[in-house]
Chain A
Amino acid sequence: MYKSAALLPLRPILLVGLAALLVLAPEASADLISPESGPSKNANDIDTLFKITLYIGIVIFLLVETTLIYSLIKFRARRQGAEAAQIRGNTPLEISWTIGAALILVMLATVTFVYLPGIKDPPASKASAIEAAEGSDYATINQKEPPGGNALEISVNAQQYIWRYDYEDSKDQLFSFHTLYAPVNTTVTLKIYSSDVVHSWWVPKLGGKADAVPGHTNETWFRADEEGTYEGTCAELCGEGHADMRTRVVVLPADEYEAWAEQQASDIKEAQDGLAEQREEREAADEDAGEVTPAQEKKTHKEEKNPPPPPGEEEGG
Chain B
Amino acid sequence: MEATTVTRPRPEIIMRGYREAPKGWLGWLSTTDHKRIGIMYFAAALVFFVVGGAEALLMRLQLAQSESTLIDAQTYNGLVTMHGTTMVFLFVIPILAGFANYMVPLMIGARDMAFPRLNALSFWLLVTGGIVFYTSLFFEPPTAGWTMYAPLSDNAYLPDGGVDAWILLIHLTGASTLIGAINLIATIHNMRTRGMGWGRMPLFVWTVLVFSYLIVLAYPAIAAAVTMLLTDRHFDTAFFDPIGGGDPMLWQHLFWFFGHPEVYIMILPAFGIISEVLPVFARKPIFGYKAVAASTVAIAFLSMLVWAHHMFATPTATVVLGFFMISSMVIAVPTGIKIFNWIATLWRGSIVFKTPLYFAAGMVGLFTIGGITGVQLAVFPADWQLHDTYFVVAHLHYVLFGGSVFGIFAGIYYWFPKMSGRMLGEGLGKVSFWLMFVGFNLTFLIQHSAGMSGMPRRVYQYPDTGDLELYNLLSTIGSFVLGIGVVVTLVNIVRSVRNGKLAGNDPWQGNTLEWFTQSPPPPNNFDAIPAVRSVEPMKDIRREVAEGTGQQAGSVAQPVA
Contacts and interface: CB of A to CB of B under 8 A. Distances in A.
B340 interface: yes
20 contacts: A31-B452, A35-B382, A35-B385, A46-B382, A49-B382, A65-B365, A68-B361, A72-B346, A89-B288, A93-B344, A94-B341, A119-B381, A197-B152, A210-B313, A218-B313, A218-B315, A219-B315, A241-B73, A243-B73, A243-B460
B551 to A, nearest CB: 18
B144 A94 contact: no
Interface residues of A, number: 89
Contacts of B461: 243-244
A290 interface: no
A88 B285 contact: yes
B384 A209 contact: yes
B350 A84 contact: yes
Contacts of B282: 75, 84
B213 interface: no
B307 to A, nearest CB: 16
Given A75-B350, A84-B348, A87-B348, A213 B318 contact: no
A29 B466 CA distance: 10
Interface of A: 29, 31-36, 43, 45-46, 49-50, 53-54, 57, 60-61, 64-65, 67-69, 71-72, 75-78, 81-90, 93-94, 97-98, 101-102, 105, 108-109, 112-113, 115-116, 119-120, 141-142, 160, 196-198, 200, 202, 204, 207-211, 213-219, 231-244, 246
B26 interface: no
Interface of B: 73-74, 77, 80, 143-145, 149, 151-152, 157-158, 242, 247-249, 282-291, 311, 313-315, 317-318, 322, 325-326, 329-330, 332-333, 336-337, 339-341, 343-344, 346-353, 361, 364-365, 368-369, 372-373, 375-376, 379-389, 449, 452-454, 456-463, 465-467
A277 B172 CA distance: 59
A81 B152 contact: no
Contact of B456 (A46, A77, A198, A202): A202
Contact of A242 (B289, B389, B459): B459
B249 A242 contact: no
A78 B458 CA distance: 49
9 closest Cβ contacts across the A-B interface? Answer: A208-B384, A215-B242, A243-B459, A35-B385, A89-B288, A31-B453, A84-B283, A84-B350, A218-B315
B339 A64 contact: yes
A89 B290 contact: yes
Contact of B284 (A34, A84, A238): A84
A106 to B, nearest CB: 9
Contacts of B290: 89
A185 to B, nearest CB: 23
Main secondary structure on chain A at its contact with chain B?
A: mixed
Given A86-B285, A200-B313, A235 B456 contact: yes
Contacts of A196: 151, 157
A314 B449 CA distance: 41
Contacts of A35: 382, 385-386, 452
Contact of B336 (A53, A97, A210, A233): A97
Contacts of A204: 385, 453-454
B322 A61 contact: no
A214 B252 CA distance: 13
Contacts of B353: 76-77
Contacts of B344: 87, 90, 93
A214 B318 contact: no
B287 A218 contact: no
Contacts of A105: 329-330, 332-333, 375
Given A89-B291, A218-B314, 17 more contacts: A32-B452, A50-B376, A50-B385, A60-B368, A60-B372, A68-B343, A76-B351, A77-B283, A82-B348, A83-B350, A84-B284, A86-B284, A101-B337, A209-B313, A232-B454, A235-B456, A237-B145
B376 A53 contact: yes
Nearest to B319: A141
A281 B283 CA distance: 91
A93 B330 CA distance: 19
B73 A46 contact: no
Given A84-B348, A208-B385, A65 B285 contact: no
Contact of B382 (A53, A68, A211, A237): A53
Nearest to B376: A53
Contacts of B318: 116, 120, 142
Contacts of A198: 149, 151-152, 248
Contact of B157 (A46, A61, A197): A197
Contacts of B333: 98, 101-102, 105
A200 B350 contact: no
Contacts of A45: 381
A254 B143 CA distance: 44
Contacts of B454: 31, 36, 202, 204, 231-233
Contacts of A84: 282-284, 348-350
Contact of A112 (B151, B343, B381): B381
A65 B340 CA distance: 11
Contact of B369 (A32, A61, A119): A61
A63 B253 CA distance: 36
Contacts of A215: 242, 247-248
Contacts of A86: 284-285
Contact of B375 (A53, A210, A243): A53
B136 to A, nearest CB: 17
A101 to B, nearest CB: 4
Nearest to B249: A213
A141 to B, nearest CB: 6
Nearest to A81: B350
Given A82-B348, A209-B313, A243-B73, A87 B284 contact: yes
Contacts of B389: 235
Contacts of B382: 35, 46, 49-50, 53
Contacts of A61: 368-369, 372
A207 B313 CA distance: 12
Contacts of A119: 381, 384
Contact of A236 (B288, B343, B376, B388): B388
Nearest to B81: A237
Contacts of A211: 311, 313-315
A240 B73 CA distance: 6
Contact of B317 (A36, A60, A141): A141
A208 to B, nearest CB: 2
Given A53-B382, A72-B346, A108-B329, A237 B152 contact: yes
A87 B348 CA distance: 9
